[in-house]
Structure 1
Amino acid sequence: MKAIEKKAFITDLYQRTEAILNLAIEQYQNLDEKALTFAVDEQSWNIAQCLAHLNTYGHYYLPKMKAVLAKPNEMSLAAYVPSWLGTYFIGLMDIKNGNKKYKAAKQHQPKVADVYAEVTEFINQQETFLKYIRAFERVDVNKIKIPISINKLVKLRLGDVLAFMVMHNERHIHQIRNIQRAHNNALTERTVFAALAP
């Protein structure tokens, strides 16, 4: 696999995550319950469910990253070299390769008790993730491995996990944009019908 210069890799992930965080702060936390729970149909997730799904990944991976940073790590500026398995998982999440739907694993099925709490949790997680991404600039992201959430026997390079997390977040941010567009269209239609009603 082609090596990626370490600073460029970390900077790219940081900027993409920062954009997601800003979107959550500027948009999602200002949405009302109707907007957060609007779904295109009964089979589709709403915004709160998308965020709750992403939060399940944060609940698993962020403590793993914290544990890595808590250990004495030898400083390394070595380029990130994606593994073939990491490349496969990251590619599955890339909407540029097609927007195929995947059924979420049982532990990542969204369970929403409080829509606003999910938004707050997502924002907090992205803020934490940003700190960790920056801290990993001085850690060897190739040697350190983390077991994946859906199968603890399978481990990915830390760099693979970071890239997967960002790509997975972006995939569902794209999904949220589509939900918002559908919601806005539905509101517009209702306004038009109300105006035309006798």
Structure 2
Amino acid sequence: MKAVDKNNFITNLYQRTEVLLDEAVRCYQNLGEEVLYFSANQQSWNIAECLSHLNSYGNYYLPKLEDILSKPNHFSNKAFTAGWLGSYFVKMMQRRGKRFKAAKIHLPSVRDAYFEVAEFISQQERMLKCLKSFEKIAIDDVRIATSINRLIRLKVGDVLEFMVAHHERHAEQIKQIIVKRENMLGQGTAFTAFTL
């Protein structure tokens, strides 16, 4: 993989996370329960489920990232070179229109729709703090075990990029859910806004 300027890499992820946070604050937290629980069909996730799924990843990775930052670290401005597996996971998340089955440990488990929204916002704020801190620390040297298989370890930079790409993928899914609901309402189609 080609080495990239670390500052540019982190800045890009930071800006993309700011967009995700802004969308959540401006849009998600102002949606009613009927929208957060709306699903076009039984096979599709609703918004609360999308956020629960993302929160499960944050619950695993954010403490690991914060733990790395809590330890003494040497300043490093070293360029970042993505690992082949990390690049593969990021590219998977960026493939639009391709569906992937969620790992069992990351299947949605919605407590309350508004809790999921608040938790997602909190996690995006934590992610921004992590990204800011990793501006000064090497993201190429330390590895984190993946949530799917603890034997597979990814570079910190790969984890950061995967998380942002994964969030963007589901943010796009959430936009599509809102549009589908609006289209069904506009066409007068009967639908069920179900609660979990």
Q: TM-score, normalised by structure 2?
A: 0.95
Structure 2 SS opposite 1:116: helix
Aligned to 1:129: 127
Aligned to 2:10: 10
Aligned to 1:161: 159
Deviations 1:69-113 (A, max 9, x none): 011011100011001111111111003xx4211111111000112
Aligned to 1:117: 115
Over the aligned positions, Cα root-mean-square deviation in angstroms equals: 0.9
**Match status 1:74 vs 2:88:** no
Structure 1 SS opposite 2:133: helix
Deviations 1:110-152 (A, max 9, x none): 0112000000000000001000001000111000100000000
**Match status 1:180 vs 2:182:** no
2: CA distance between counterparts of 1:113 and 1:15?
30
Structure 2 SS opposite 1:152: coil
Aligned to 2:32: 32
Gaps of 5+ in 1: 192-198
2: CA distance between counterparts of 1:58 and 1:126?
9
Structure 2 SS opposite 1:156: strand
What percentage of residue pairs aligned between the two structures are identical? 51
Q: TM-score, normalised by structure 1?
A: 0.94
What is the letter of the counterpart of residue 55 of structure 1? N
Structure 1 segments of 4 or more deviating over 3 A? none
Q: Residue 187 of structure 1: CA displacement?
A: 1.4
Determine which structure has the larger helix proportion and give its number: 1
1: CA distance between counterparts of 2:149 and 2:139?
20
Question: After superposition, where does 1:57-96 map in structure 2 within 5 Å?
Answer: 57-95=57-95
**Which structure has the larger Rg?**
1
